[in-house]
Structures are given as structure tokens and as C-alpha cells.
A and B are shown apart, each in its own frame.
Chain A
Amino acid sequence: MTPSNPQLTAIKAALFLACLLPAGLLWQGFEADSLGANPIEAITRSLGEWTLRFLLITLAVTPLRKYTGWHWIVRLRRTLGLFAFAYGVAHLMSYVWLDQFFDWPAIAKDILKRPFITVGFAALVLMIPLAATSSNFAIRRLGGRKWQSLHRAIYPIAMLGCLHFWWLVKKDITEPLVYSVILAALLGVRMWWREQERRRQLAGAYLPQTPKFKGKVIKIFSE
């Protein structure tokens, strides 16, 4: 099934609204004072978890496309990736503004001294060039191949995100473990494809194609 262009526009609009939903619910929870006794912690944590979730959803697009044949879903990937970045920025903002209240010396100390904040901050910084090159213009300008290798940075970004969560929790690592296992599956399937491709090439899948020569072909024996 391939949606028509107007259908795709509608799907994109619905996706955009769906991606805004977690932020909307958080805002509503804050207004209604239903985020528990420590709403600031709840907001910061929720925004961080949604960053990680959007990263994983973005990484799930390619496997989903391959296994379902829905090639059009790749056209939703940019929205998902940009929302991962937006939630990441909001997560950082809630830390800088709500949690630390712009105490820059304390923030600088945290980024340098606390390994979990260092890796979280690094992950967000690495997302900046990806967000900045998400336009069609940037893709054309960089060229598909270069753009693609740059955007593979999402793999280390997602790994740093999981590590950030892992190091943050005091003892019960169940939740970071769930994210890490999903990430491992999403990256593992890519490694597996690569391995399959390598084997295919080794098995000579491309050899029967006629080699192309430049210049003259000299006959070495006659019929």
C-alpha cells in the first residue's frame, strides 16, 4: 500500500500532532498539579524519556520499511528525528531552567564532573548537526552518500542516550535496560544485514555480471 500525496500530507499532519501529544499532556499535568510531589523532576525525566523513545522510533523506520515493504514511511522519518531533537532540547532546557534555575557554575560543574550528564550533553550536541542538515536543501548540498554517513551519528547518539539513562538511575536498571535491549535489536538487525550483504558478495553474487572494460578488447583465441 502506498498512500497518495494528499493522503501522505494528512498522515504527516497527524504524526506531527501525535508527536506533540506527550508535551501537551505534560503541560496539562503541570497545570492540574497532577505530576506528583516533585513536578520538576517528573517533567525533566519525562522529556528525557521521550527523547530516547523518539530516537528509537526513528531508528525503527528502516527495519519496518524493509520488513513491511511500506517504502513511503521513510518520508515520516525526518519528522520523528526532529521531534527527538526537540524533546532533547526541551529536556536540557528543563534541567537548565526548572532544575538548576540558570545556575551556570553548577551546570558547568555538572557537565564536566557527572559522567551521566556529560554523556547526555554530548548526545544532544551530536544531534545538532543532524537537525541542522535535515532539510532537502542540505541533503542535495551534501549529496546523499555524505548526508547518510553524517546521519549514521544517530547510532552513537542513541547509545549515549541509553548510557545517560543507565548511569542516572540509583539502582533499579529495569527501564534503561528495556531501552538498551530495543536499541541493541535495532542496531543488531543492521549489522545482520551488513553481514548478509558481505556474504552475498563473497559468494560471488555479482560475478556473473559482464565486466566492463575500457579500451580495446583483444581476442586471445579464435573460434
Chain B
Amino acid sequence: TAFGPLAASPLSTTETPTSRRAVTTYNNFYELGTDKSDPAENIHRLKPSPWTLRIEGLVNKPRSLGIDELLKLVPPEERIYRMRCVEGWSMVIPWVGIPLGSLLKLVEPQGSAKYVEFVSHYDRATMTRGVLDWPYTEGLRLDEARHPLTILAVGLYGEVLPVQNGAPVRLVVPWKYGFKGAKSLVAIRFVERQPVTAWMKAGPSEYGFYANVNPDVDHPRWSQATERRIGEFTKRKTLMLNGYSDQVGSLYAGMDLRRFY
């Protein structure tokens, strides 16, 4: 079930991808367990097929669609992105995904839609209880969601997305901390007001709405100045907006990123 030859993208990094083994065994996916190794061991708790993704809220053409339909609407491409986790580690991941902006165009957001809320799958019977206020939710400003770098990932390393990485479809926003990339999406909802995300609810003093990678704004409990690229020994300096400043810096022109962290 590979995707076949995929179009390369000028938005991909030329850095060496992190090993497939590391990408698929070192995961934060709390619904499947809170240790990094848990999600890969608990893949049976989430059935990625059949799947329905709802696109709803303030749009002219709301719809529910399966993964195959989604891929027919917008052809997938390869995007090799840096991923920086708020915990201070990073990877380079060759995603297979569709630009979220292309999908947004098709559903026609209404003028009052200012934000997009992402809702993850949650099944109380099989998944972690407690820890966070489930289901996991995330959010983006509409212009962030439309940005060409923002994708809905459906695969990695040319293969169908493994469960532990958020099968069958997840958000990837490479200039933000990894937790913004909500996994196993069941709904994409267009709203007027800034949504409160799962992590904002869990720790309002530690997690803001934007969660942009920023070496100058420390997490209250750990520094964000450096990161360990998985597979490397010494740490490297963390880059502003995870090295995507040239592409996305203008989204935050005039904003105090210390305040809007």
C-alpha cells in the first residue's frame, strides 16, 4: 500500500531524514500511552480503516469524507520537514501529505471563519483515560492553516501513515512544536473565535495557542535554546520558527511572540 512515485516539493528540506525506526518507535501519542515507546506497542487500540473525516463549521460546503476520497480531491506529495518537539528533541521526517490550503479552498470557508479547530479521535473503551481532557484538540489561525507548508499527512517514508504516527490522517505544521500536529483527525472545524486547545486547558501557563518554535521563549520548565536531533550526540541550536522564518515570518509581523507564545 505504497503511494507510488510522489512529486518532490521545493518546500522539503535537504537534510538527512531520521531513521524510519526512530520515527515509528519514539512517539508522543498519549491516547495510546504516555511513554514514547507505548504508541508503537498499542497500535491495536486504534483502527484507521474505515475512517470518516468531517469538515464542518463556518464553511459553504461542509462534508464528510474517507481517506481515499480525500486523496482523490487533493493529490498527495512528499514533504520532508524538520519536526521540533517541545521537550527538546527533533527529527527530520519524510511525510506524505496534502496541502491543507488546497482542501480549504474546496470547502469555501465563510467570511466569519477566523480559526480552524482540529479534533482527534478518542475512544474511551480502548484509549488512555485521564491525563488530558479528551478528545485532543488543536487549532490554527485561518492564515496559518492556509499556508503552503501546512499539510494533512497520510503517510511517511512513502508508506501509509503508521497508527503510532497518527493514522490515517494528521496535521503537520513544521514551524510549530510537534504537539500542534493533532493525530488521527476526525473533524476539521471552522470557527470564529480562537479555540482552546487540549494543552492550553492542561497547562495554561505552559502552553499558548501559537506554540511557534522559538529559541528565545523558554518553556517554564525547560530551555528551548537547543535541541537534540534524534540520532545525534551533541545538541544543536534551535532555529527561530524551526528554520522556516523566511516562509512564515510574515504571518507574525508586528506580534510580540513572547506574549503570544
A114-B89 contact, Cβ under 8 Å, with A37-B21, A37-B26, A172-B30: no
Q: Does residue B146 face the partner (Cβ distance < 8 Å to A)?
A: no
A72 touches B (CB below 8 Å): no
Give the total of A residues in contact with B, Cβ under 8 Å. 22
What DSSP secondary structure best describes chain B's contact surface? loop
Chain A, residues 155-179, CB within 8 Å of chain B (1/0): the string is: 0000000000001101110100000
Q: Are A168 and B221 in contact (CB under 8 A)?
A: yes
| Residues on B with beta carbons closer than 8 Å to the beta carbon of A170 | 87
- The answer, yes or no, to whether A109 is at the interface (CB within 8 Å) is yes
A147 to chain B, nearest CB (A): 37
Query: B146 to nearest A CB, angstroms?
Result: 30
Instruction: Say whether B36 contacts A172, CB under 8 Å.
Output: no
Residue on A with the closest CB to B203?
A171
Q: Is A37 within 8 A of B221, CB to CB?
A: no
Complex Cα distance, B218 from A114, in Å, reads 10
Q: How far is the CA of A114 from the CA of B36 in the complex (A)?
A: 23
Residues of A within 8 A of B131 (CB): 171-172
Q: A41 near B: Cβ within 8 Å?
A: yes
**Contact residues on B (Cβ < 8 Å of other chain), bracket:** 20 to 34
* Interface of A (DSSP majority class): helix
Contacts of B19 in A (CB 8 A): 37
When chains A and B are docked, how far (Å) is the Cα of A77 from the Cα of B232? 40
Q: Which residues of A contact B226 (CB under 8 A)?
A: 103, 106
Interface string of B218-254 (1 = CB under 8 A from A): 1001110110101101110000000000000000000
Are the CB atoms of B89 and A41 closer together than 8 Å? yes
A103 to B236, CA, bound (A): 12
By the criterion CB–CB under 8 Å, are A101 and B234 in contact? yes
Question: Given A38-B36, A101-B234, A171-B30, 14 more contacts at CB 8 Å?
Answer: A36-B36, A36-B37, A37-B22, A37-B25, A38-B89, A40-B228, A101-B235, A114-B222, A114-B223, A170-B87, A171-B203, A172-B34, A172-B131, A174-B34
A residues with a Cβ closer than 8 A to B are 36-38, 40-41, 99-101, 103, 106, 109-110, 113-116, 167-168, 170-172, 174
